Amino acid sequence: MKKLTSMAMALALTGVAGSAFAGTSTDNSNATALHASTTVHFNGLVEEPTCSFKGKSMKVVLPVVSTAAFANLTEGQPALNTQKKDFSLYISCADQFQANRMHMKITGQGKNNILENTHGTAKGMGLQIFSGDGNTVLPIGQELNSDTAGLTNAFLNNDNTLQLSTKYVRASGDVTGGKLATDAVFEIYYK
């Protein structure tokens, strides 16, 4: 009897253990199988080595010019007897950047590559932006790159100085005196 009771007890324990293991089985044929999963999403960013401007926005103070400097000029001609105003942009490029993939765009309100006087009262005049030599007009609103005349050294090294200049030019309409103030946004990007 003692042997029979021990055997019954062993069978009972085997059944309990078997049902405990059945709950964790991953066998698809077992309807009581338990299964849990979770998904982990990973996000990252891989950047190409690129360039950026050093410094903040800047102001370029232009010389005073007479309305007589615009007499008998047609649209786009520089004001007579006035000098160009030089300014520089400083560009810093990351190690191993690819100069041929760097581009620049100058945007501002205007037409025919003349920045309009958007914040002043003077009329019939605007500004053009030139490469450092003062002879090559840089187009407004067009993509520029290191092949653009006057920008060949813009993305040459890790630290670059882009020499530019601006000049008063004749715009459309009658010429009247007053303040001339406008903005140009210089943007560089990797493409």
Element (H, E) at 4: helix 2-22
What distance in Å separates the CA atoms of residue 115 and residue 138, rounded to the nearest whole number?
11
**What global pTM score does this model have?**
0.72
Rg of the Cα atoms in the chain: 36
Q: Is the pLDDT of residue 4 over 50?
A: no
- The mean pLDDT value for 91-99 works out to 87
Q: What are phi and psi of 41, to 5 degrees?
A: -95, 135
Q: What pLDDT, on a 0 to 100 scale, did the predictor assign at position 148?
A: 81
Q: Which token pair is 65?
A: 């010019």
Map out the domains of the chain with their CATH numbers: 1-37 (no CATH), 51-190 (2.60.40.1090)
139-185 tens-digit pLDDT: 999 998 877 877 777 788 889 888 999 999 999 999 999 999 999 99
Which percentage of the chain shows pLDDT scores above 70?
83
Asked if residue 152 lies in contact with residue 100, where contact means CB atoms within 8 angstroms, the answer is no
Q: Is the pLDDT of residue 15 over 60?
A: no
Asked if residue 150 lies in contact with residue 131, where contact means CB atoms within 8 angstroms, the answer is yes
